[in-house]
C-alpha cells in the first residue's frame, strides 16, 4: 500500500497545490483520468463552520484537487456531501457559504440534487442495502477528502468515517439507532465504505482536531496532507500519527481483522513522518479499559458490565444553550426536546451516540460519566 505524505506548513494555495501534484504523481492517479469522467469530491462538511476552525475540509485542499483534475482533462467535477443536519437546498446552501465552498465555483459544481438511491450491498453484509446520495451513486470516480479528527463515539474520524456523509440527512440518526453498539456501528461503517468504494482518499491534516471531535474539539496542526488509494490502511497509519492505538479504534480493528487494512504493507512516498509528534488529546467519552488483565473468555462479559457502569451521557450547559434544536433534530432516540428555548434531555433511551454534542453549534453539550 502506497501512502503519499506531504508536509504543508499552512493553508496557502501556492503550498497546497504542489503537494497535491506530488501525491497524485506518486499514486499514478493520472492513469485513471479520461475524457468525460464524472468525478465527485466528497468532503467533510459536518456543520456550518468557517474553515478557520479544524471542523471541515479546507476549501483550498479541494481547490487544489479540482485544479489538478482540470489540468488532466476532467471538467465534470461535483462536490457532494450530506452534512449532519437536513439534506435540502436551504440547509446545504448555508453550509456551502459558511464553509467556504462557494469560492470553488464554477470549476466545481456544488451539488443541488438532494435525492438518494438505494444501493444493494454484498452478500453476507448485515446491511442489505444503503440509501446513498445520488451524485455519489452516479459518479464514475469518487475522491474522498476528509478532515483528520478525534471523534466522541468512534474515537477517530478519517477516510472510513467520512463516508457516513453519503447517507442523506436525518437518515444517519436512524443508523445510529439501529446499530447503537460501537462494534455493530463500526461494522456498518465498513460495509458502507465497501459499498461506496472511493478511488482516492485525501486526508486534510494541515490542521487537525483533538479532544471532543468531530466538532467540539481544538486545533492540533500536523502540517500534513495524506493520500492513498487504500483508505482502510491509510486510517491505520493516520491514527498512529495522532498517537492513538489503531487496534483500539473499533472500525480499524475490524478492518485489519477482515483484511481490508494491511498495515504490514505500508510504504511511505514523499516526505518522511515528522519527528516528535505529540499525542492528540482524547475525547471525554474515551472509556477506560480494565479488561487486559482478565483471561480471554472473561473479557467480553466484563466489557458489557463495564460499559453499563462507565457509560457516558450528554450533559447540557443551559447557560450556553440557545434552543436552536439541532440536538433534538439529530437525536436518533428522540429523547431530547426543546422547552422554553432550552434543550431538555432524558437519560432513559439515550444510546450515547453523541450526535447531539456533534451537532451543537454552541458547544453547550459536554460528557457526563455515569460513575
Kindly indicate the confidence band of residue 287, based on its pLDDT and cuts at 50, 70 and 90. very low
Q: What is the DSSP letter of 286?
A: P
Task: Please count the residues of the chain.
Answer: 371
Q: Is 223 found in the same domain as 75? A: yes
* Domain endpoint, select from 225, 240, 270: 270
CA distances from 228 to 23, 93, 253 (A): 9, 30, 19
Residue 296: the pLDDT is: 56
Q: Characterize the bridge pairing of strands 2-7 and 224-228.
A: antiparallel
Q: Is 324 found in the same domain as 258? A: no
- Per-chain mean pLDDT for the chain: 93
Dihedral (Cα; 123, 125, 131, 134), 10-degree rounding: -60
Residue 261: the pLDDT is: 98
Answer for the pair 231, 156: CB distance below 8 angstroms, yes or no: no
Kindly indicate the confidence band of residue 347, based on its pLDDT and cuts at 50, 70 and 90. confident
Give which of 153, 172, 192 is closest to 367, Cα–Cα. Answer: 153
Q: Is 315 found in the same domain as 211? A: no
Kindly indicate the confidence band of residue 297, based on its pLDDT and cuts at 50, 70 and 90. low
Q: Domain for residue 333, yes or no? A: yes
Q: Which residues contact 26 (CB under 8 A, 6 or more apart)?
A: 2, 4, 227, 269, 270
Q: Is 322 found in the same domain as 210? A: no
Question: Does 111 score more than 80 pLDDT?
Answer: yes
| Domain extent at residue 315 | 291-369
Residue 326: the pLDDT is: 92
Q: Domain for residue 168, yes or no? A: yes
- CATH of residue 346's domain is 3.30.70.20
Buried b (16+ CB within 10 A) or exposed e, 306-332: beeeebbebebeeeebebbebbbbbbb
What's the total number of domains in the chain? 2
- CATH of residue 136's domain is 3.40.50.11440
* Domain endpoint, select from 206, 239, 270: 270
* Higher-scoring residue by pLDDT: 357, 2: 2
Number of neighbours of residue 138 by Cβ within 10 angstroms:
13
Q: Is 228 exposed, middle or buried (0-12, 13-18, 19+ CB in 10 A)?
A: buried
Q: Is 313 found in the same domain as 251? A: no
Q: What are phi and psi of 101, to 5 degrees?
A: -80, -25
* Higher-scoring residue by pLDDT: 347, 76: 76
Amino acid at each position: 500500500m502506497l501512502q503519499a505524505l506531504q508536509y504543508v506548513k499552512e493553508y496557502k494555495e501556492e503550498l497546497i497545490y504542489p503537494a497535491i501534484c506530488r501525491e497524485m504523481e506518486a499514486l499514478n492517479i493520472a492513469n485513471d483520468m479520461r475524457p468525460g469522467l464524472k468525478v465527485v469530491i466528497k468532503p467533510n462538511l459536518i456543520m456550518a463552520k468557517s474553515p478557520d476552525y479544524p471542523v471541515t475540509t479546507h476549501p483550498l485542499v479541494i481547490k487544489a484537487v479540482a485544479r489538478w483534475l482540470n489540468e488532466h482533462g476532467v471538467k465534470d467535477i461535483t462536490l457532494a456531501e450530506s452534512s449532519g443536519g437536513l439534506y435540502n437546498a436551504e440547509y446545504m446552501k448555508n453550509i456551502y457559504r459558511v464553509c467556504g465552498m462557494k469560492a470553488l465555483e464554477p470549476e466545481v459544481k456544488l451539488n443541488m440534487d438532494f435525492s438518494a438511491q438505494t444501493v444493494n450491498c454484498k452478500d453476507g453484509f448485515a446491511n442489505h442495502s444503503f440509501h446513498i446520495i445520488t451524485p455519489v451513486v452516479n459518479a464514475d470516480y469518487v475522491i474522498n477528502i476528509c478532515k483528520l479528527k478525534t471523534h466522541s463515539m468512534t474515537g477517530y474520524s478519517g477516510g472510513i468515517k467520512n463516508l457516513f456523509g453519503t447517507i442523506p440527512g436525518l437518515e444517519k440518526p436512524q443508523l445510529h439507532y439501529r446499530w447503537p453498539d460501537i462494534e455493530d456501528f463500526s461494522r456498518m461503517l465498513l460495509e458502507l465504505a465497501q459499498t461506496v468504494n472511493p478511488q482516492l482518499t485525501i486526508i486534510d491534516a494541515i490542521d487537525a482536531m483533538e479532544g471532543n471531535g468531530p466538532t467540539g474539539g481544538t486545533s492540533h496542526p500536523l502540517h500534513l496532507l495524506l493520500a492513498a488509494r487504500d483508505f482502510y490502511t491509510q486510517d491505520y497509519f493516520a491514527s498512529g500519527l495522532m498517537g492513538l492505538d489503531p487496534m483500539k479504534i473499533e472500525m480499524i480493528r475490524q478492518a485489519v481483522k477482515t483484511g481490508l487494512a494491511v498495515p504490514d504493507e505500508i510504504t511511505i512516498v514523499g516526505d518522511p513522518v515528522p519527528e516528535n509528534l505529540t499525542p492528540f488529546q482524547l475525547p471525554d467519552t474515551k472509556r477506560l479499559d480494565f479488561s487486559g488483565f482478565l483471561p480471554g473468555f472473561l473479557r467480553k462479559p466484563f466489557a458489557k458490565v463495564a460499559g453499563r457502569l462507565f457509560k457516558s451521557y450528554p450533559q447540557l450547559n443551559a447557560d450556553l444553550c440557545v434552543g436552536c434544536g439541532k440536538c433534538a433534530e439529530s437525536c436518533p432516540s428522540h429523547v431530547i426536546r426543546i422547552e422554553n428555548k432550552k434543550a431538555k434531555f432524558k437519560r432513559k433511551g439515550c444510546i450515547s451516540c453523541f450526535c447531539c454534542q456533534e451537532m451543537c453549534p454552541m458547544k453547550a453539550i459536554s460528557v457526563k460519566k455515569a460513575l
